[in-house]
Structure 1
Amino acid sequence: MEIKHVCILGAGTLGSRIAFQAALSGYWVKVYDIKEESFDSSKKMIAKIAKGLIASETYTKEAIDAALTRLSYTLSDVEAVAEADIISESVTEDSALKQKVWARMAQIAPEKTIFTTNTSYLLPSSLAPFTGRPTRFCAFHFHDVFYSKIVDIMPHPGTDADVIEILHDFGQKLKQVPVILKKENNGYIFNAMLLSFLGAAGKLLVNEVATIQDIDKSWMVNFHVPMGPFAILDSIGLDTAWHVTHQLPDANSKAFAALLKTYIDAGKLGEKSGEGFYEYPNEK
């Protein structure tokens, strides 16, 4: 199967990045969302990424402009999937919502279409029954796309082996490094490790061991990296982090999820909203 047309469900932070990279890689891309304002945010984000890619001489302005002609947005899910060879779903990390989305895609997507979810923590087997085509469904999970270029391929027990092969090839064409999981695991590989790291930082903060800034400084200086755990959470999105954390059973995770919820309720979602643990674009 040759992939030419890509559908992205969700014009958020990661959905926008995947869409832009797919367009840069020569694919025709349609991005679907239920909110018009999501498209404005997506376009601003892509413009910022494009500026950096041109400055670093990763792509020329001509290549960027050509890619943007292959990228379009729509509020119609029927239009979004009409020609899709593959769907990449990046909607909010909520099981019931994702199940509803896939039940709808089962009704309107062409028979040829491969279904993939970009879920951060849910298992594909929990969504597969709602797709109407479980053999053509797989978790296909991106990280940053432009700077952290791993893409996780995590099949459920019913995923067709040919789909895994197609996704491996597609991941490489998107200039990512595909890694294939031998079995389902919450958080894939990297996120499973990252969750322990972020959880430890959250425990330190909730227990008032140190401030946000000093916890981040300790990690940054010791590992010679530009971001600590709370800046990383801001880049992920505090709403995404909450959706994962509040489902964990231990008391420390529950307490940290409660703290995250206070930020979310105040509209502080992280970098994408202009403020989270830090203020953007001039975070201290």
Structure 2
Amino acid sequence: MTIQKVCILGAGTLGSRVALQAAISGYTVSVYDIHEKALDFGFQTMKKILSQLEKGKLLKEAQEKILSRIYFTTDAEKAIQDADIVNESVTEEVEVKKEVWRKFGKIAPKKTFFTTNTSYMLPSMFAEESGRPEMFCAFHFHDVFYSRVVDIMPHPGTDPAMIPMLEDFGRKLNQVPVLVQKENPGYIFNTMLLALIGAAGKLLTGEVGSVEDIDRSWMVNFHMPMGPFGILDSIGLDTAWHVTKNRTDSASVAFAKHLKSYLDQGKLGEKSGEGFYTYPNPAYKSPDFIQ
């Protein structure tokens, strides 16, 4: 199969990055969201990333050509028209995803392959809703530009032929494909990351250490540019809350409550300008932070 048109469902932080990388890689891209405001956010996110890439080697003319390949719309039928592959990045709620896949399963061309970018849910949780479970697979990106891993995680009903196709597509998107051999919540990296975030949350809610000192300890000991709470800000505190609130151990319950207090104030992390830190110049990026 030759992929030419890519459809992205959800114009949030990650969906916008996947769409932009697809356009950079030469694909025609449609970006769908139910909110015009989200589409505008996605467009502004793309322009910001392109301006950062411009400082390297991407010229202004190239930026305009890349953006010309991307179509933003709130019209589902226009978004899915002639799409070869869909990648979904909507809210981490099972019922929301089921509703999205019921809708697009009915209107997508028969040739269209379906992929989900869910961070912690399993593709088998909503593959049947798509109406073509054999053409459904998790295809999960990380940061896209900084962390270039894309996870391929089939469910038991996925056609095995999808895997080499997705591996090839992932490489063409300048990503490193990682095959998750069986369904696992959190894939490989996020399973490891959740252990780190869970430990950091437990230290914070247990008043063992402050946000800054927990991050400092991690950054200095492992020579990292950010710590667990800086990472959470980049992921999005809303995403972290959706994952944490579904865990029933006391430490996760306490941390989910703590995260919710930030969400109630509109503090979602880097994308809203404030989370555990304030952006665009978070304290952990200052040389004085680890002195």
TM-score (normalised: structure 1)? 0.98
Which residue of the partner structure matches residue 131 of structure 1? 130
SS at match of 1:122: coil
| Aligned partner letter, 1:100 | E
Gaps of 5+ in 1: none
Deviations 1:142-185 (A, max 9, x none): 00001100000000011001111111110010000001111010
State the partner residue of 2:97: 98
Query: What is aligned with 2:116?
Result: 117
Q: Which residue is 1:42 aligned to?
A: 42
Give the % identical residues.
61
Are the counterparts in 2 of residues 24 and 63 from structure 1 also a CA contact under 8 Å? Answer: no
Equivalent in the alignment of 2:19: 19
Query: Following TM superposition, by how much is the alpha carbon of 1:56 offset from its aligned partner in structure 2, in angstroms?
Result: 2.0
SS in 2 for 1:268: coil
Distance 1:90 1:128 in 2: 15
Structure 1 partner of 2:188: 189
Which position in structure 2 is the counterpart of 1:178?
177
C-alpha contact (below 8 Å) 1:245/1:253 kept by paired residues:
yes
Question: Is 1:232 equivalent to 2:248 in the alignment?
Answer: no
* Whole-angstrom distance in 2 between the partners of 1:282 and 1:68: 27
Q: Deviations over 1:185-219 (max 9, x none)?
A: 00000000000000000000000001101111111
Q: Quick one: which amino acid aligns to residue 10 of structure 1?
A: G
Matched, 1:31 2:43: no
Give distance in 2, aligned partners of 1:249 and 1:162: 37
Q: Does 1:3 align with 2:3?
A: yes
Pair 1:140 & 2:139 matched: yes
Q: Give the conservation status (yes or no) of the 8 Å contact 1:154–1:188.
A: yes
Alpha-carbon distance in structure 2 between the residues aligned to 1:41 and 1:280 = 16
Measure the CA separation in 1 of the matches of 2:211 and 2:273.
Answer: 17
Q: Which amino acid aligns with 1:48?
A: K
1:55 paired with 2:29, answer no
CA distance in 2, matches of 1:197, 1:210: 15
Q: Aligned equivalents of 1:206 and 1:249: distance in 2?
A: 16
Matched residue SS, 2:71: strand
Amino acid at match of 2:7: C
Which whole-Å CA distance do the structure 1 matches of 2:33 and 2:89 have between them?
A: 10
1:60 is displaced (CA, Å) by 3.2
Ranges of 4+ aligned residues in structure 1 off by more than 3 Å: none
Q: Indicate the residue corresponding to 1:72 in structure 2.
A: 71
> Take 2:177 and 2:62, find their aligned partners in 1: how far apart are those partners?
24
Moved more, 159-168 or 194-203: 159-168
Distance (whole Å) between structure 2 residues aligned to residue 22 and residue 12 of structure 1: 15
How many Å separate the matches in 1 of 2:43 and 2:118? 22
Cα distance in 2 for residues equivalent to 1:53 and 1:225? 22
CA distance in 2, matches of 1:18, 1:27: 11
Which residue in 2 is equivalent to 1:82?
81
Q: Matched residues in 2 for 1:64 and 1:166: separation?
A: 28
CA-based RMSD: 0.8
Q: Which residue of 2 aligns with 1:265?
A: 264
Asked if 2 retains the 8 angstrom alpha-carbon contact of 1:83 and 1:110, the reply is yes
In the superposition, the TM-score normalised over structure 2's length comes to: 0.96
| 2: CA distance, partners of 1:210 / 1:161 | 47
CA distance in 2, matches of 1:128, 1:99: 8
- Structure 2 counterpart of 1:248, one-letter code: R
